Structures are given as structure tokens and as C-alpha cells.
């Protein structure tokens, strides 16, 4: 999967400014060590975090992993330490900091942990994506669904949708879901290798309790169809 555009990475990081995040470093014996810190600055050349208690052991050039919470779940990305620093705190002691490289990509969302079922083989549902700010709308075929999100295939050759975008989706699904009308966050966008359209991985930003039963029903229908084939 190609890395998301830098702009999408910046949007996700800026949404996490002033929030608690995790840094993961690897000890000399190869075991991971996760420490809590706070993201205090983001720009196109890197990010700055409060230096955690274990931060004095982080060496410039050392590889790390940054983990943060976003609207679609937890995001993580690989970074490198660019050096130690400090910032004024408004008090007698400065804030000790670590400057990190900007991650080239952020992976995340809880959808990867959820069971997905294909729905195109019997339902072939269509979803409508819309951007409330610009008023733009797109149609997309729903390929599979989990309780956390969906995989879509755009009807347009190049919809111009980017990872990190927050949109709304509405789709008319069978009961017990019915009309699905929820905000989503776009997690990944890639070219469909079999056409000129694009595949979109999205996570739901609000839970839909009825999806659990819907997913079970779709899996039963699929299993029945495979047994009778």
C-alpha cells in the first residue's frame, strides 16, 4: 500500500496536538518499551514531544514508533529522534523535549482487528459519501463490512479523497441496520488493480450496534452460498 500524502499525516498529527500519546523504543535486548508523553508541536519538518522520563536514553537517529488516538482509532507510525531540546515553560524550569522526524505514513484504525464479511456477492449495496463542508458527493460500491468500518470502491475514476478525510456515508442496508447515516474517517486510499477506480478503507466514527447482527447474517448467507455452489 502506498504511503498517504504528507498532508494527511499532518492533519492527523495536528488533531492530536496537546494530547497524550505514546512513544515506543526498543531496548538493547530487542524488547519494546512504551512511555507516555504529550505532543506539543507539529510542522512539515518534524514533531516535538515532551521528553518522557526515559527520554534521556533516546539517542539522536534512534528509530521509534509514535502511537496516538484519532477519530478512527489508534494510529501509529515510524519516526526517528532528531535530537533533544527544551522550551520555555513559563516557570523556572524549561520543558525538556524530543524532536522527532515526521512519519512518512500513519497506520491505524481498529477495523483491522474486526471480522469483515463480503457483501457484494449477494447485496451489492451502494453508499453515498458526502463532504458537509464543500457539498461534494461521491457514489461507492460497498465491498465488505465489519462492525468498525467498510471497504468501498469508488464509482469515479479519481474521487480526490485522501487518507485522514472526515466524510459522511449513507447507505440503505437490510435490517436490522436499515439506513446507515454516520460520519467516517478515511484510513487508506489505493488504486484498484482491476480497474481505474479506487479502493477506500474507512472506519465509522460512531458505533452502530445493529452491525454485529448484520455481519453475522451476511456471513451465514455467504457460507450457505459456498456450500451449495
Domains of the chain by residue range: 6-107, 112-228
Q: Nearest to residue 39, comparing CAs of 94, 92, 95? A: 95
Superfamily classification of domain 6-107: Electron Transport, Fmn-binding Protein; Chain A (2.30.110.10)
Q: Indicate if the pLDDT at residue 28 is higher than 80.
A: no
Question: Left if phi > 0, otherwise alpha if psi is -120 to 50, otherwise beta: which for 157?
Answer: alpha
Unique residue bearing C-alpha cell 484519532? 70
Over the stretch 176-204, which tens digit does the pLDDT of each residue have? 888 888 888 888 888 887 778 898 988 88
Instruction: Please tell me the predicted confidence (pLDDT) of residue 101.
Output: 95
In this prediction, residue 130 carries a pLDDT of 92
CB 19 within 8 A of CB 67: no
**pLDDT value, residue 138:** 92
Is the pLDDT reported for residue 72 higher than 70?
no
Would you say the pTM of this structure is higher than 0.75? no
**pLDDT given for residue 222 in this prediction:** 60
pLDDT, tens digit, 9 for 90 and up, residues 80-102: 999 999 998 877 889 999 999 99
Lookup: cell for 86: 527544551
| DSSP secondary structure of 41-88 | EEETTEEEEEPPGGGGGPPTT-EEEEEEEETTEEEEEEEEEEEEEEE-
C-alpha cell read off for 190: 489505493
**Model confidence pLDDT, tens digit, residues 127-166:** 999 988 888 999 999 888 887 788 899 988 778 888 878 8
The Cα 47–Cα 212 span in angstroms is 38
The CB density around residue 199, as the number of other CB atoms within 10 Å, is: 20
Q: Are strands 198-204 and 117-118 parallel, antiparallel or unpaired?
A: unpaired
One of 3.30.70.100, 2.40.10.220, 1.10.10.10, 3.20.20.10 is the CATH number of 112-228, namely 2.40.10.220
Across the chain, mean pLDDT equals: 80
Amino acid at each position: 500500500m502506498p504511503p498517504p500524502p504528507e498532508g494527511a499525516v499532518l492533519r492527523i498529527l495536528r488533531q492530536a496536538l496537546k494530547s497524550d500519546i505514546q512513544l515506543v523504543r526498543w531496548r538493547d535486548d530487542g524488547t519494546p518499551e512504551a512511555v507516555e508523553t504529550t505532543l506539543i508541536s507539529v510542522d512539515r519538518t518534524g514533531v516535538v514531544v515532551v521528553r518522557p522520563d526515559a527520554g534521556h536514553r533516546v539517542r539522536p537517529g534512534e528509530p521509534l514508533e509514535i502511537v496516538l488516538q484519532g477519530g478512527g482509532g489508534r494510529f501509529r507510525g515510524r519516526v526517528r529522534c532528531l535530537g533533544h531540546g527544551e522550551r520555555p515553560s513559563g516557570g523556572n524550569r524549561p520543558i525538556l523535549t524530543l524532536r522527532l522526524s515526521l512519519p512518512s505514513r500513519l497506520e491505524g484504525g481498529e477495523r483491522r482487528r474486526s471480522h469483515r464479511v463480503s457483501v457484494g456477492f449477494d447485496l451489492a449495496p451502494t453508499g453515498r459519501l458526502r463532504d458537509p463542508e464543500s457539498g461534494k458527493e461521491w457514489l461507492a460500491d460497498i465491498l465488505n463490512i465489519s462492525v468498525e468500518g467498510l471497504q468501498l470502491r469508488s464509482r469515479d475514476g479519481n474521487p480526490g479523497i485522501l487518507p485522514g478525510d472526515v466524510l459522511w456515508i449513507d447507505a440503505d442496508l437490510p435490517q436490522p441496520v436499515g439506513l446507515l447515516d454516520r460520519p467516517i474517517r478515511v484510513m487508506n486510499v489505493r488504486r484498484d488493480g482491476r480497474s481505474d477506480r479506487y479502493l477506500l478503507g474507512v472506519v465509522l466514527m460512531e458505533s452502530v450496534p445493529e452491525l454485529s447482527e448484520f455481519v453475522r447474517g451476511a456471513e451465514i448467507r455467504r457460507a450457505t452460498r459456498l456450500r451449495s455452489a
